[in-house]
């Protein structure tokens, strides 16, 4: 049983590569069948057509397994991150109000967003004129602004 489990895990992890090993020959056989039909009339080679459809079906099935495995890994990662962050929520929220530690964390987050926005504006201005014309400074309320001029020419 462990052999089958390991084999299944190996197929899941390498499904994309294995799928190509089925899809490419499936397309080649399908094109070969079309060439035979065009060259020798409309006598359809049903065996070749069935073989190509079978190869393509297995390949597309493996692509679906690969997509499902990647999606499952991503969802597991997101849920684990959510579990870690939810553990901090009781420290931040009590009922419908923010606790003192939650208020501090919210102010820090707003301050960081304000700093990033001010830095982005300063960077855009620097790109526009080709040199730095201001510097960031923190206001009394914790937000960030740009001080234009000063030691930098306007």
Q: What is the 3-state secondary structure (H, E, C) of 100-123?
A: HHHHHHHHHHHHHHHHHHHHHHHH
Q: Are 23 and 56 in contact (CB under 8 A)?
A: yes
* Residue-level pLDDT at 57: 95
Question: Is the predicted pLDDT of residue 145 greater than 90, yes or no?
Answer: no
- Does residue 16 sit within a domain? yes
Domain that holds residue 122: 108-148
Question: Is the predicted pLDDT of residue 149 greater than 70, yes or no?
Answer: yes
Residues 78 and 115 occupy one common structural domain: no
- What CA–CA distance (Å, rounded) separates 1 from 3? 5
Query: Confidence class of residue 108 from pLDDT cuts 50, 70 and 90?
Result: confident
Residues 77 and 123 occupy one common structural domain: no
* Residue-level pLDDT at 92: 66
pLDDT in tens, 28-62: 999 988 888 888 776 667 888 899 999 999 999 99
Report the domain count for the chain.
Answer: 2
Question: Is the predicted pLDDT of residue 91 greater than 70, yes or no?
Answer: no
* Residue-level pLDDT at 52: 92
Give which of 130, 132, 134, 131 is closest to 145, Cα–Cα.
134
Least confident span in 3-12, 53-62, 124-133: 3-12
Residues 19 and 79 occupy one common structural domain: yes
Residues 6 and 47 occupy one common structural domain: yes
- Does residue 153 sit within a domain? no
Residues 58 and 130 occupy one common structural domain: no
Q: What percent of the chain has pLDDT over 90?
A: 21
* Residue-level pLDDT at 152: 66
Query: In terms of DSSP bridges, do strands 93-94 and 144-148 run parallel, antiparallel, or are they unpaired?
Result: unpaired
* Residue-level pLDDT at 1: 62
Measured torsion, CA atoms of residues 39, 44, 46, 48, in degrees rounded to the nearest 10: 10
SS (H, E, C) 63-87: HHHHHHHHHHHHHHHHHHHHHHHHC
């Amino acid at each position: 049983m462990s052999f089958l489990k390991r084999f299944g895990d190996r197929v899941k992890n390498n499904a994309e590569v294995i799928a190509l090993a089925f899809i490419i020959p499936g397309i080649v056989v399908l094109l070969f069948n079309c060439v035979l039909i065009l060259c020798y009339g409309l006598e359809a080679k049903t065996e070749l057509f069935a073989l190509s459809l079978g190869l393509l079906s297995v390949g597309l099935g493996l692509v679906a397994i690969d997509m499902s495995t990647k999606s499952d890994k991503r969802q597991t990662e997101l849920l684990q991150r959510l579990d870690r962050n939810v553990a901090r929520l009781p420290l931040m929220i009590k009922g419908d109000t923010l606790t003192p530690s939650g208020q501090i964390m919210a102010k820090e987050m707003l301050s960081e967003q304000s700093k990033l926005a001010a830095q982005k504006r300063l960077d855009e201005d620097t790109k526009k004129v080709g040199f730095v014309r201001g510097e960031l400074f923190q206001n009394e309320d914790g937000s960030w602004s740009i001080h234009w001029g000063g030691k930098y020419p306007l």
